[in-house]
Amino acid sequence: MRSSNRLHKVSAADLASALNGISGFIALIFFVNDMLLTGSVFVLIGLFLDGLDGILARKYGARHGKGPQIDSIADTVSFCIAPATALYSAFYLKDAPYSLLSLSTIFASSAIVFTGIIRLGTFCDEGFALEHFNGLPTPASALVILFSVLTFSEEGVLYAPWVGILITLVMASLMVLRICYPKIHGRTSILSGVLLLYLLFSLLFHSLGWNSPLLYYSPIVGLFISLFYVFAGPLYCHIFRDRSSHP
């Protein structure tokens, strides 16, 4: 008799994906309470778990064929809804809900959720089998949006909400355009992990009240690093494809 308990089918990779989604949900709670730094820490934790689920799936295998769907649901929470909520929390004017800034913030937040869902839905169908991404991956988009929010919010280095909104709209567009972005493997993944650890602990200590220029300017560092991938990634893909097509 088949067991009615679905938990027996949960693999280690599924658990990592679920924890990724939980991290995104916790980030949402902090964002709606205007705790941008702490919420961003949990999005970065989700990013590590998102990378871990792929490693676990390759090492231990899967117990069913729904792993990509579970991963995409978790990514929707952590890398689409959570960054959109951070943008809303930072730039929406509660005392002026019908102002141009508030309405633009709602539009940009909705755009990132809409295009993120479309991006993840198509990735489930075709993305796992490809050697590259078609369109900007949602984790990269989430990082750019989060670090732009932290940089250009009232608590950031420079209050420039329109810059944050513009960056968000660009990220929303790049997710659904068929632009090649490289998947991170090998030594590059190790370097990326080290950089993410630095950013995670910098934001964590900053949220706990530690005062240091190294911590205060970490969102700008994160913004430049993530934007480097956004703009250099397609160039790398183009060069790599040219080399692979010429023996």
* Tens of pLDDT, residues 24-74: 999 999 999 999 999 999 999 999 999 888 788 777 666 666 678 888 999
Neighbours of 187 (CB within 10 A): 8
- Whether residue 1 is contained in a domain is answered as no
pLDDT value of position 108: 98
- Whether residue 15 is contained in a domain is answered as yes
Count of domains for the chain: 1
- Whether residue 199 is contained in a domain is answered as yes
- Whether residue 192 is contained in a domain is answered as yes
* 33 vs 178: which has the higher pLDDT: 33
- Whether residue 83 is contained in a domain is answered as yes
According to the 3-state scheme, what is the secondary structure of 176-214? HCCCEEECCCHHHHHHHHHHHHHHHHHHHHHHCCCCCHH
**Under 8 Å between Cβ of 129 and 123:** no
Residue 109 phi/psi, 5-degree rounding, is -65, -40
- Whether residue 228 is contained in a domain is answered as yes
**Under 8 Å between Cβ of 86 and 39:** yes
Domain encompassing residue 97: 6-245
CA-to-CA separations, 198 to 2, 117, 188, 193, 194, in angstroms, rounded: 47, 29, 15, 9, 6
DSSP H or E run through 72: helix 67-76
Residue 180 phi/psi, 5-degree rounding, is -75, 130
Hey, what are 112's tokens? 């990132």
pLDDT value of position 209: 87
pLDDT value of position 14: 85
CA-to-CA separations, 23 to 42, 58, 146, 235, in angstroms, rounded: 5, 23, 15, 32
* Tens of pLDDT, residues 92-119: 999 999 999 999 999 999 999 999 999 9
**Under 8 Å between Cβ of 104 and 165:** yes
Following DSSP, what letter does each residue of 117-149 receive, concatenated? Answer: HHHHHHHHHHGGGSSEEES--HHHHHHHHHHHH
Instruction: Please provide the average confidence, as pLDDT, over all residues in the chain.
Output: 88
Supply the pTM of this predicted model.
Answer: 0.90
Residue 13: CATH number of its domain: 1.20.120
For CA atoms 103, 228, 153, 35, the dihedral sign is: positive
pLDDT value of position 188: 83
- Whether residue 191 is contained in a domain is answered as yes
Long-range contacts of 129-132 (CB under 8 A, 24+ apart): 131/183, 132/180, 132/181, 132/182, 132/183, 132/237
Rounded-to-integer distance, Cα 37 and Cα 202, Å? 10
pLDDT value of position 4: 56
